Amino acid sequence: MTPRAGTMRLACMFSSILLFGAAGLLLFISLQDSTELTPQQVPGVKFNIRLQRPRDDFPPGGSQDGVFKAPTERVARDASSRAPRGLRLLVPDPPPGHPNTGARLRPRQRRRRLLIKKMPSAAATPVPANSSTGSAAPDGHWARLQQRQRERKRAVGEACAKFRAAGSRRPVTPRHVSRIFVEDRHRVLYCEVPKAGCSNWKRVLMVLAGLAASPAGLQHDAVHYGGALKRLDAFDRPGILHRLRTYTKMLFVREPFERLVSAFRDKFEHPNSYYHPVFGKAILARYRANASGEALRTGAGVRFPEFVQYLLDVHRPVGMDIHWDHVSRLCSPCLIDYDFVGKFESLEDDANFFLSLIHAPRNLTFPRFKDRHAQEARTTAGITRRYFAQLSAPQRQRAYDFYYMDYLMFNYSKPFADLY
Protein backbone atom coordinates (compact mmCIF):
# COMPACT_ATOMS: atom_id res chain seq x y z
CA MET A 1 0.00 0.00 0.00
CA THR A 2 1.40 3.35 -0.99
CA PRO A 3 1.64 6.10 1.66
CA ARG A 4 -0.89 8.21 -0.27
CA ALA A 5 -3.54 5.45 -0.22
CA GLY A 6 -3.03 4.90 3.54
CA THR A 7 -3.56 8.57 4.25
CA MET A 8 -6.83 8.61 2.25
CA ARG A 9 -8.12 5.54 4.12
CA LEU A 10 -7.44 7.11 7.55
CA ALA A 11 -9.26 10.31 6.55
CA CYS A 12 -12.31 8.36 5.39
CA MET A 13 -12.41 6.34 8.63
CA PHE A 14 -12.16 9.55 10.76
CA SER A 15 -14.97 11.21 8.78
CA SER A 16 -17.20 8.16 9.21
CA ILE A 17 -16.64 8.14 12.96
CA LEU A 18 -17.60 11.83 13.17
CA LEU A 19 -20.77 11.29 11.14
CA PHE A 20 -21.88 8.30 13.24
CA GLY A 21 -21.22 10.27 16.45
CA ALA A 22 -23.24 13.26 15.27
CA ALA A 23 -26.13 11.02 14.21
CA GLY A 24 -26.12 9.26 17.57
CA LEU A 25 -26.19 12.57 19.45
CA LEU A 26 -29.14 13.85 17.42
CA LEU A 27 -31.02 10.58 18.03
CA PHE A 28 -30.33 10.83 21.82
CA ILE A 29 -31.60 14.39 22.01
CA SER A 30 -34.77 13.64 20.06
CA LEU A 31 -35.63 10.79 22.43
CA GLN A 32 -35.28 12.90 25.60
CA ASP A 33 -38.44 14.15 27.48
CA SER A 34 -38.55 17.95 27.19
CA THR A 35 -39.58 18.24 30.82
CA GLU A 36 -36.20 16.92 31.90
CA LEU A 37 -34.42 19.91 30.42
CA THR A 38 -33.89 22.41 33.21
CA PRO A 39 -32.69 25.97 32.65
CA GLN A 40 -29.22 26.91 33.73
CA GLN A 41 -29.28 28.27 37.27
CA VAL A 42 -28.21 31.88 37.68
CA PRO A 43 -25.92 32.31 40.69
CA GLY A 44 -27.88 33.68 43.65
CA VAL A 45 -31.28 33.32 41.90
CA LYS A 46 -33.89 30.73 42.73
CA PHE A 47 -36.00 29.72 39.76
CA ASN A 48 -39.60 28.94 40.50
CA ILE A 49 -40.97 27.13 37.48
CA ARG A 50 -44.09 24.99 37.68
CA LEU A 51 -45.07 22.59 34.93
CA GLN A 52 -48.43 22.89 33.24
CA ARG A 53 -50.95 20.46 34.66
CA PRO A 54 -52.43 17.79 32.37
CA ARG A 55 -55.77 18.50 30.79
CA ASP A 56 -57.69 16.03 32.94
CA ASP A 57 -56.45 17.61 36.17
CA PHE A 58 -58.68 20.67 35.66
CA PRO A 59 -61.96 20.70 37.61
CA PRO A 60 -65.30 21.11 35.82
CA GLY A 61 -65.84 24.73 34.96
CA GLY A 62 -62.08 25.42 34.77
CA SER A 63 -60.26 26.77 31.76
CA GLN A 64 -60.01 23.28 30.19
CA ASP A 65 -63.77 22.93 29.74
CA GLY A 66 -63.97 23.95 26.11
CA VAL A 67 -61.26 26.07 24.56
CA PHE A 68 -57.81 25.71 26.09
CA LYS A 69 -56.50 28.91 27.66
CA ALA A 70 -52.73 29.22 27.86
CA PRO A 71 -51.43 30.33 31.24
CA THR A 72 -50.36 33.95 31.34
CA GLU A 73 -46.79 34.83 32.26
CA ARG A 74 -45.92 36.87 35.31
CA VAL A 75 -42.78 37.83 37.17
CA ALA A 76 -41.82 35.36 39.88
CA ARG A 77 -42.15 37.23 43.18
CA ASP A 78 -39.76 34.98 45.04
CA ALA A 79 -37.02 35.47 42.44
CA SER A 80 -37.43 38.97 41.06
CA SER A 81 -36.30 40.64 44.27
CA ARG A 82 -32.97 38.83 44.05
CA ALA A 83 -32.45 38.75 40.28
CA PRO A 84 -29.52 40.62 38.72
CA ARG A 85 -30.44 43.90 37.01
CA GLY A 86 -31.95 43.31 33.62
CA LEU A 87 -32.98 39.70 34.33
CA ARG A 88 -36.72 39.05 34.21
CA LEU A 89 -37.84 35.61 35.39
CA LEU A 90 -41.14 34.41 33.98
CA VAL A 91 -43.33 31.66 35.38
CA PRO A 92 -46.87 30.63 34.46
CA ASP A 93 -49.85 31.52 36.65
CA PRO A 94 -51.43 28.59 38.49
CA PRO A 95 -54.41 27.11 36.58
CA PRO A 96 -57.90 28.32 37.56
CA GLY A 97 -59.45 26.35 40.36
CA HIS A 98 -56.11 25.42 41.91
CA PRO A 99 -55.00 28.26 44.16
CA ASN A 100 -51.47 28.27 45.43
CA THR A 101 -51.85 26.87 48.91
CA GLY A 102 -48.46 28.19 49.94
CA ALA A 103 -49.39 31.81 49.23
CA ARG A 104 -50.24 33.96 52.23
CA LEU A 105 -53.74 35.32 52.27
CA ARG A 106 -54.07 39.08 52.62
CA PRO A 107 -55.35 39.84 56.15
CA ARG A 108 -58.84 41.25 56.35
CA GLN A 109 -58.69 44.95 56.91
CA ARG A 110 -60.23 46.47 60.03
CA ARG A 111 -63.81 47.45 59.40
CA ARG A 112 -64.26 51.19 59.51
CA ARG A 113 -67.42 53.16 59.12
CA LEU A 114 -66.09 55.42 56.39
CA LEU A 115 -69.34 56.17 54.68
CA ILE A 116 -68.03 58.52 52.05
CA LYS A 117 -65.23 56.20 50.89
CA LYS A 118 -67.62 53.32 50.37
CA MET A 119 -70.58 55.27 49.08
CA PRO A 120 -72.33 53.30 46.32
CA SER A 121 -73.20 54.91 43.05
CA ALA A 122 -76.43 56.84 42.81
CA ALA A 123 -77.86 54.39 40.29
CA ALA A 124 -77.54 51.46 42.72
CA THR A 125 -78.53 53.20 45.96
CA PRO A 126 -81.86 54.47 47.27
CA VAL A 127 -81.93 58.24 47.37
CA PRO A 128 -82.05 59.93 50.77
CA ALA A 129 -85.46 60.46 52.25
CA ASN A 130 -84.33 62.98 54.90
CA SER A 131 -84.92 66.19 53.02
CA SER A 132 -86.69 69.40 53.78
CA THR A 133 -89.62 68.39 51.61
CA GLY A 134 -89.81 64.86 53.04
CA SER A 135 -89.55 63.34 49.56
CA ALA A 136 -86.67 61.49 47.97
CA ALA A 137 -84.06 63.58 46.19
CA PRO A 138 -83.36 63.00 42.48
CA ASP A 139 -80.53 60.65 41.58
CA GLY A 140 -78.50 63.52 40.11
CA HIS A 141 -78.74 65.50 43.33
CA TRP A 142 -77.56 62.48 45.35
CA ALA A 143 -74.59 62.03 43.03
CA ARG A 144 -73.68 65.72 43.27
CA LEU A 145 -73.66 65.53 47.07
CA GLN A 146 -71.32 62.53 46.93
CA GLN A 147 -68.99 64.33 44.53
CA ARG A 148 -69.05 67.43 46.73
CA GLN A 149 -67.84 65.36 49.68
CA ARG A 150 -65.02 63.82 47.69
CA GLU A 151 -63.84 67.26 46.58
CA ARG A 152 -63.96 68.69 50.11
CA LYS A 153 -62.05 65.79 51.61
CA ARG A 154 -59.47 66.05 48.85
CA ALA A 155 -58.99 69.79 49.53
CA VAL A 156 -58.40 69.11 53.22
CA GLY A 157 -55.94 66.34 52.43
CA GLU A 158 -53.98 68.46 49.95
CA ALA A 159 -53.74 71.40 52.34
CA CYS A 160 -52.53 69.16 55.15
CA ALA A 161 -49.98 67.45 52.91
CA LYS A 162 -48.68 70.81 51.73
CA PHE A 163 -48.00 72.24 55.18
CA ARG A 164 -47.22 69.12 57.21
CA ALA A 165 -43.66 67.85 57.16
CA ALA A 166 -43.22 64.21 56.14
CA GLY A 167 -43.52 61.84 59.09
CA SER A 168 -44.60 64.62 61.47
CA ARG A 169 -48.06 63.24 62.29
CA ARG A 170 -48.49 63.58 66.06
CA PRO A 171 -50.37 61.22 68.35
CA VAL A 172 -53.94 62.22 69.22
CA THR A 173 -54.27 63.69 72.71
CA PRO A 174 -57.40 64.59 74.72
CA ARG A 175 -56.83 68.26 73.78
CA HIS A 176 -57.24 67.41 70.09
CA VAL A 177 -60.67 65.85 70.69
CA SER A 178 -62.00 68.23 73.36
CA ARG A 179 -64.47 69.83 70.91
CA ILE A 180 -65.79 66.49 69.59
CA PHE A 181 -69.21 65.30 70.82
CA VAL A 182 -70.15 61.61 70.90
CA GLU A 183 -73.43 59.98 69.89
CA ASP A 184 -73.03 56.24 70.50
CA ARG A 185 -76.33 54.90 69.18
CA HIS A 186 -75.57 55.95 65.59
CA ARG A 187 -71.79 55.93 66.12
CA VAL A 188 -71.29 59.60 65.27
CA LEU A 189 -68.52 62.01 66.28
CA TYR A 190 -69.29 65.69 65.70
CA CYS A 191 -66.63 68.38 66.01
CA GLU A 192 -68.28 71.59 67.20
CA VAL A 193 -67.40 74.72 65.20
CA PRO A 194 -69.27 77.66 66.80
CA LYS A 195 -71.24 79.93 64.45
CA ALA A 196 -71.53 77.12 61.88
CA GLY A 197 -74.84 75.59 62.99
CA CYS A 198 -73.47 73.97 66.14
CA SER A 199 -76.53 74.63 68.36
CA ASN A 200 -78.88 72.88 65.97
CA TRP A 201 -76.42 70.05 65.45
CA LYS A 202 -76.36 69.45 69.18
CA ARG A 203 -80.16 69.36 69.15
CA VAL A 204 -80.05 66.75 66.39
CA LEU A 205 -77.50 64.65 68.30
CA MET A 206 -79.72 64.71 71.38
CA VAL A 207 -82.65 63.42 69.31
CA LEU A 208 -80.45 60.71 67.76
CA ALA A 209 -79.34 59.69 71.28
CA GLY A 210 -82.97 59.36 72.42
CA LEU A 211 -82.70 62.31 74.82
CA ALA A 212 -85.44 64.32 73.10
CA ALA A 213 -88.31 63.63 70.74
CA SER A 214 -87.72 66.67 68.53
CA PRO A 215 -85.09 69.39 68.10
CA ALA A 216 -87.73 72.11 68.31
CA GLY A 217 -88.36 71.82 72.04
CA LEU A 218 -84.73 72.08 73.13
CA GLN A 219 -83.68 75.44 74.55
CA HIS A 220 -80.28 77.05 73.98
CA ASP A 221 -79.03 76.68 77.57
CA ALA A 222 -80.16 73.05 77.80
CA VAL A 223 -78.27 72.26 74.59
CA HIS A 224 -75.01 74.00 75.53
CA TYR A 225 -74.87 73.79 79.30
CA GLY A 226 -77.07 70.82 80.20
CA GLY A 227 -74.26 68.25 79.88
CA ALA A 228 -76.47 65.77 78.04
CA LEU A 229 -73.91 65.08 75.32
CA LYS A 230 -70.59 63.51 76.20
CA ARG A 231 -67.32 64.83 74.79
CA LEU A 232 -64.75 62.47 73.36
CA ASP A 233 -62.06 63.59 75.82
CA ALA A 234 -64.22 62.21 78.66
CA PHE A 235 -63.22 58.67 77.63
CA ASP A 236 -59.97 56.91 78.40
CA ARG A 237 -57.36 56.58 75.66
CA PRO A 238 -58.57 53.17 74.36
CA GLY A 239 -62.12 54.53 74.24
CA ILE A 240 -60.98 57.62 72.31
CA LEU A 241 -58.96 55.64 69.79
CA HIS A 242 -61.70 53.04 69.31
CA ARG A 243 -64.29 55.68 68.49
CA LEU A 244 -61.94 57.56 66.19
CA ARG A 245 -61.34 54.33 64.27
CA THR A 246 -64.90 53.06 64.03
CA TYR A 247 -67.34 56.02 64.29
CA THR A 248 -68.38 58.38 61.52
CA LYS A 249 -66.55 61.67 62.09
CA MET A 250 -68.02 64.91 60.75
CA LEU A 251 -67.63 68.66 61.06
CA PHE A 252 -69.35 71.72 59.59
CA VAL A 253 -67.42 74.86 58.65
CA ARG A 254 -68.24 78.39 57.52
CA GLU A 255 -66.59 81.14 55.47
CA PRO A 256 -64.04 82.50 58.00
CA PHE A 257 -64.78 86.24 57.72
CA GLU A 258 -68.52 85.60 57.83
CA ARG A 259 -68.12 83.38 60.87
CA LEU A 260 -66.03 86.09 62.57
CA VAL A 261 -68.66 88.79 61.95
CA SER A 262 -71.42 86.46 63.14
CA ALA A 263 -69.52 85.88 66.39
CA PHE A 264 -68.93 89.62 66.88
CA ARG A 265 -72.59 90.48 66.35
CA ASP A 266 -73.74 87.75 68.73
CA LYS A 267 -71.29 88.42 71.56
CA PHE A 268 -70.73 92.18 71.46
CA GLU A 269 -73.82 93.79 69.92
CA HIS A 270 -76.22 92.24 72.43
CA PRO A 271 -76.14 92.13 76.23
CA ASN A 272 -73.87 89.33 77.38
CA SER A 273 -72.93 88.54 80.94
CA TYR A 274 -69.72 86.76 79.99
CA TYR A 275 -68.19 88.29 76.87
CA HIS A 276 -68.68 91.93 77.88
CA PRO A 277 -66.92 91.75 81.28
CA VAL A 278 -64.28 89.20 80.21
CA PHE A 279 -63.43 90.29 76.65
CA GLY A 280 -65.10 93.67 76.24
CA LYS A 281 -63.43 95.36 79.20
CA ALA A 282 -59.97 94.14 78.21
CA ILE A 283 -60.44 95.17 74.57
CA LEU A 284 -61.67 98.65 75.44
CA ALA A 285 -58.89 99.20 77.96
CA ARG A 286 -56.21 98.25 75.43
CA TYR A 287 -57.48 99.58 72.11
CA ARG A 288 -59.80 102.56 72.79
CA ALA A 289 -58.15 105.82 73.62
CA ASN A 290 -59.99 107.83 76.27
CA ALA A 291 -62.53 105.07 76.94
CA SER A 292 -65.30 106.24 79.29
CA GLY A 293 -65.55 104.92 82.80
CA GLU A 294 -68.89 103.32 81.99
CA ALA A 295 -67.39 101.43 79.04
CA LEU A 296 -64.46 100.25 81.11
CA ARG A 297 -66.81 99.16 83.90
CA THR A 298 -69.25 97.17 81.76
CA GLY A 299 -67.22 96.21 78.69
CA ALA A 300 -70.19 97.07 76.44
CA GLY A 301 -69.96 98.86 73.13
CA VAL A 302 -66.87 97.23 71.55
CA ARG A 303 -66.55 98.26 67.89
CA PHE A 304 -65.59 95.84 65.13
CA PRO A 305 -62.18 97.48 64.34
CA GLU A 306 -61.30 97.25 68.05
CA PHE A 307 -62.32 93.61 68.10
CA VAL A 308 -60.10 92.89 65.06
CA GLN A 309 -57.20 94.71 66.71
CA TYR A 310 -57.54 92.35 69.66
CA LEU A 311 -57.77 89.33 67.34
CA LEU A 312 -54.56 90.17 65.46
CA ASP A 313 -52.52 91.22 68.49
CA VAL A 314 -49.87 88.62 69.34
CA HIS A 315 -49.93 90.02 72.90
CA ARG A 316 -53.69 89.87 73.41
CA PRO A 317 -54.89 91.19 76.75
CA VAL A 318 -57.24 88.19 76.98
CA GLY A 319 -56.94 84.77 75.36
CA MET A 320 -58.50 83.19 72.28
CA ASP A 321 -62.11 81.98 72.24
CA ILE A 322 -63.68 79.07 70.39
CA HIS A 323 -66.15 81.36 68.58
CA TRP A 324 -63.40 82.93 66.50
CA ASP A 325 -60.57 80.40 66.77
CA HIS A 326 -59.35 78.60 63.63
CA VAL A 327 -61.21 75.45 62.61
CA SER A 328 -57.80 73.87 62.06
CA ARG A 329 -57.15 74.32 65.82
CA LEU A 330 -60.62 73.42 67.04
CA CYS A 331 -60.98 70.14 65.12
CA SER A 332 -57.41 69.17 64.07
CA PRO A 333 -58.44 68.00 60.56
CA CYS A 334 -54.81 67.25 59.66
CA LEU A 335 -54.64 64.81 62.55
CA ILE A 336 -58.17 63.40 62.49
CA ASP A 337 -59.48 62.04 59.19
CA TYR A 338 -63.05 63.36 59.04
CA ASP A 339 -65.45 61.28 56.98
CA PHE A 340 -67.86 64.13 56.25
CA VAL A 341 -67.17 67.85 55.75
CA GLY A 342 -70.28 70.03 55.68
CA LYS A 343 -70.54 73.75 55.05
CA PHE A 344 -72.82 76.36 56.55
CA GLU A 345 -73.41 77.76 53.06
CA SER A 346 -75.12 74.49 52.05
CA LEU A 347 -76.19 73.57 55.56
CA GLU A 348 -79.63 72.10 54.93
CA ASP A 349 -78.57 69.94 51.98
CA ASP A 350 -75.40 68.72 53.65
CA ALA A 351 -77.02 68.04 57.02
CA ASN A 352 -79.94 66.06 55.67
CA PHE A 353 -77.60 64.14 53.35
CA PHE A 354 -75.50 63.18 56.37
CA LEU A 355 -78.59 62.11 58.33
CA SER A 356 -79.54 59.81 55.47
CA LEU A 357 -76.06 58.31 55.37
CA ILE A 358 -76.16 57.34 59.06
CA HIS A 359 -79.73 55.98 58.73
CA ALA A 360 -81.28 58.51 61.08
CA PRO A 361 -85.05 58.32 61.65
CA ARG A 362 -86.84 59.32 58.44
CA ASN A 363 -88.85 62.02 60.19
CA LEU A 364 -85.73 63.77 61.54
CA THR A 365 -84.56 66.72 59.46
CA PHE A 366 -82.12 69.46 60.30
CA PRO A 367 -83.85 72.41 62.04
CA ARG A 368 -84.10 75.71 60.16
CA PHE A 369 -84.76 78.06 63.07
CA LYS A 370 -82.25 80.63 64.31
CA ASP A 371 -81.02 79.80 67.78
CA ARG A 372 -80.54 83.33 69.21
CA HIS A 373 -81.72 86.82 68.28
CA ALA A 374 -84.35 85.30 66.04
CA GLN A 375 -85.63 88.69 64.82
CA GLU A 376 -82.22 89.68 63.53
CA ALA A 377 -81.10 88.77 60.02
CA ARG A 378 -78.50 86.06 59.72
CA THR A 379 -74.97 87.18 58.91
CA THR A 380 -74.56 87.06 55.14
CA ALA A 381 -71.74 87.84 52.72
CA GLY A 382 -73.22 91.33 52.21
CA ILE A 383 -73.35 92.07 55.93
CA THR A 384 -69.79 90.75 56.31
CA ARG A 385 -68.50 93.13 53.63
CA ARG A 386 -70.07 96.08 55.44
CA TYR A 387 -68.23 95.22 58.64
CA PHE A 388 -64.90 94.65 56.89
CA ALA A 389 -65.30 97.96 55.07
CA GLN A 390 -64.57 99.55 58.46
CA LEU A 391 -61.03 98.13 58.33
CA SER A 392 -57.99 99.35 56.44
CA ALA A 393 -56.57 97.26 53.59
CA PRO A 394 -53.59 96.13 55.73
CA GLN A 395 -55.98 95.04 58.50
CA ARG A 396 -58.06 93.02 56.03
CA GLN A 397 -54.89 91.39 54.73
CA ARG A 398 -53.72 90.48 58.22
CA ALA A 399 -57.14 89.06 59.05
CA TYR A 400 -56.99 86.95 55.87
CA ASP A 401 -53.51 85.74 56.81
CA PHE A 402 -54.83 84.86 60.27
CA TYR A 403 -57.49 82.56 58.76
CA TYR A 404 -55.42 81.49 55.76
CA MET A 405 -55.36 77.77 56.64
CA ASP A 406 -59.15 77.69 56.99
CA TYR A 407 -59.54 79.42 53.62
CA LEU A 408 -57.15 76.97 52.00
CA MET A 409 -58.26 73.79 53.71
CA PHE A 410 -61.97 74.27 53.06
CA ASN A 411 -61.56 75.82 49.61
CA TYR A 412 -63.10 79.24 50.27
CA SER A 413 -62.38 82.06 47.81
CA LYS A 414 -60.64 85.27 48.80
CA PRO A 415 -63.38 87.62 50.06
CA PHE A 416 -61.71 90.77 48.68
CA ALA A 417 -59.94 91.26 45.38
CA ASP A 418 -56.94 93.09 46.90
CA LEU A 419 -55.98 90.17 49.14
CA TYR A 420 -52.97 88.07 48.29
- Determine which of 74-78, 129-133, 141-145, 261-265 has the lowest per-residue pLDDT on average: 74-78
pLDDT at 17: 72
Residue 383 pLDDT > 70: yes
pLDDT of residue 37: 38
How far is it, in rounded angstroms, from Cα 338 to Cα 345?
A: 19
**What pLDDT is attached to residue 219?**
85
- What is the model's pLDDT at position 369? 77
Does the predicted TM-score (pTM) go above 0.85? no
Reported confidence tier of residue 166, pLDDT bands at 50, 70, 90: low
Sign of CA dihedral 183, 188, 193, 195: negative
Indicate if the pLDDT at residue 160 is higher than 50. Answer: yes
Checking if the pLDDT of 276 tops 70, the result is yes
Give me the percent of the chain exceeding a pLDDT of 70: 67
* Mean pLDDT value across residues 145-164: 93
pLDDT for residue 345 is more than 90: yes
36 has a pLDDT exceeding 70: no
pLDDT in the model for residue 59: 35
Residue 215 to residues 30, 206, 224, 342, Cα–Cα distance (Å): 89, 8, 13, 19
- Which of the four pLDDT bands, split at 50, 70 and 90, describes residue 24? low
Residue 318: the pLDDT is 94
Look at residue 225 in the predicted model and tell me its pLDDT.
83
pLDDT at 256: 98
| 131 has a pLDDT exceeding 60 | no
Residue 206 pLDDT greater than 60, yes or no: yes
pLDDT band at 165 (very low <50, low <70, confident <90, very high): low
Mean pLDDT of all residues in the chain?
77
Percent of the chain with pLDDT over 90: 56
pLDDT digit string, tens, across residues 52-102: 333 333 333 333 333 333 333 333 333 333 333 333 333 334 333 333 433
Residue 191 pLDDT > 70: yes
Question: What pLDDT is stored for residue 64 in this prediction?
Answer: 37
What is the pLDDT, as a whole number, of residue 222? 84
Packing angle, helices 393-402 and 304-312, rounded to 10: 50
Tell me the average pLDDT across 178-204.
96
pLDDT range class, residue 354, cuts 50, 70, 90? very high
Per DSSP (E only), the strands in 246-312 are: 248-253
At residue 6, the pLDDT reads 61
Kindly list the distances between the CA atom of residue 401 and the CA atoms of 20, 108, 419, in Å, as whole numbers in the listed order.
94, 45, 9
Amino acid at 394: P
For residues 243 and 130, the model is more confident at 243
More confident residue, 78 or 213: 213
| CA-angle at 142, arms to 136 and 144, nearest 5° | 150
pLDDT-based confidence at residue 164 (cuts at 50, 70, 90): confident
Sign of CA dihedral 309, 313, 318, 324: positive
| Burial of 241 from C-beta contacts in 10 A (0-12 / 13-18 / 19+) | middle
Whether residue 29 has pLDDT greater than 70: no
Q: In what order do the strands lie in the sheet with 188-191?
A: 230-231, 180-183, 188-191, 248-253, 340-343
Cβ–Cβ under 8 Å, residues 196 and 252 = yes
The pairing of strands 180-183 and 230-231 is antiparallel
Give the mean model confidence (pLDDT) for residues 109-124.
Answer: 39
Instruction: Out of 3-7, 29-33, 201-205, pick the least confident.
Output: 29-33
Higher pLDDT, 323 or 81: 323
Residue 2: is its pLDDT beyond 70? no
CA 365 – CA 363 distance, rounded (Å): 6
In which element (H, E) is residue 297 found? helix 293-298
Confidence category of residue 375, pLDDT binned at 50, 70, 90: confident
